[in-house]
Amino acid sequence: MSPTEQPTTAYDDEIDLRDLALMLVEGWYWIVGAVVVAVVAAFAYLAVTTPTYETRFRAVPASSANFAGFNLFNDFSIEPEDAYRALGNRLSSFQNFERFAESNREVFVMGEGADLGRLFNGRFSVSGLTAERDGSMALSVQYRYPEGERGAEVLNTYISDTAEQVWNTLRSRFDDFNRAQITRLESTLELQKESLQAEREEQLFLLEQAISVARRLDIDKPTTPQQFGRQPSGTEVIYANISGDGSLPLYFMGYEALEADRDVLRDALDQGLSNSAIRTTNQQLLQRQRIMEQLAGSRLQGVDEGVEPNHTERVVDVVEYAFPPAGPSEPRRALILALSLVLGGMLGVMLVFLSRFAVSLRSYRKAKG
């Protein structure tokens, strides 16, 4: 061998796709077997898995006209967003669901001794309690339930029951506020009457004093200091009454006029105390008491009468009630079968490669031995 000649060693790193295809064709039984096993496993899983269905309720804040019965005065109001959030918060409350479930166990499909907390967390989801970036609000209540349960009806009934509780809560809040205002107005009215009583008693005292002075001075008719004292013209005499404001003393009115004034004032005391402030307060009190009576008799317009009979539509504006779905949401049969075919085929290809590798490994050992 000449020095210029170099030994050549052939390394073939290329993979012939024809060899791979031939290998897969020869190992077809591995692929078919793996696919059959995967499909059988998928059918077995679908057979033992209980189908789960899904339904949804959607709503937005109601019109402000729905709450006009609560907004009769400027000092109390209920906004649509208040009722909307109250409904959403109650729907997402486990205590509220527990109360409903205990009263309506027959409508749920669940085992004996089922954990209501786990059931609630697994089946319910509530969203839309906060406003979106554009300020819009949309309540969405999703309910997942097993086969055999009338889930759409359960969800609509749960929401209706909760909406009624919300409306009654708003009604109680208005009633409590109205009663508090009645107590305030009664106290105000009592203070106003006491103040007017003291005022009139003070006036009576001043009149009695003035009458006594007028009788002693024998002033029976209204007169002036000049006529009474017969002061010469041009003589200035300053008279001051008890109040010290520079006006003439009351006794110059004469005891006849003063006694008439006193008698009228006494009659007013006997017949009742009243002035513009007291009449205004009394009118407000009567309005509040009328509302309290109507609430007690469930006859208040805009709250008990003349309103939507469906409590859900009183509290929110329903976009979509829950309805039965066309098919189960889980398990997804088509997806599971498709995945079983794909995974079975991949497993079959791996088994073909492993079997060929095992054959080549045995041949290598024999060649080395």
- Mean pLDDT is lowest, of 20-24, 161-165, 338-342, for 20-24
> 46 pLDDT exceeds 70?
no
Between the ranges 121-130, 163-172, 339-348, where is the mean pLDDT highest?
A: 163-172
CA atoms of 7 and 304, how far apart (whole Å):
106
Sheet containing strand 52-61, strands side by side: 124-127, 139-146, 52-61, 316-320
User: What pTM was estimated for this model as a whole?
Assistant: 0.69
**Is-contact 273 193, C-beta < 8 A?**
yes
Q: Higher model confidence: residue 10 or residue 252? A: 252
Q: What is the mean pLDDT of residues 49-54?
A: 79
Per-residue pLDDT band for 361 (boundaries 50, 70, 90) equals: confident
**Mind listing the pLDDT tens digit for each residue in 195-223?**
888 888 888 888 888 888 888 888 888 88
CA atoms of 83 and 167, how far apart (whole Å):
8
CA distances from 49 to 110, 142, 147, 333 (A): 15, 21, 11, 11
Q: Higher model confidence: residue 225 or residue 60? A: 60
Q: What is the mean pLDDT of residues 116-132?
A: 89
Per-residue pLDDT band for 185 (boundaries 50, 70, 90) equals: very high
> 365 pLDDT exceeds 80?
no
**Average pLDDT, whole number, for the chain?**
83
Does a cis peptide bond (omega within 30 degrees of 0) precede residue 331? Answer: yes
**Mind listing the pLDDT tens digit for each residue in 330-343?**
666 677 678 877 88
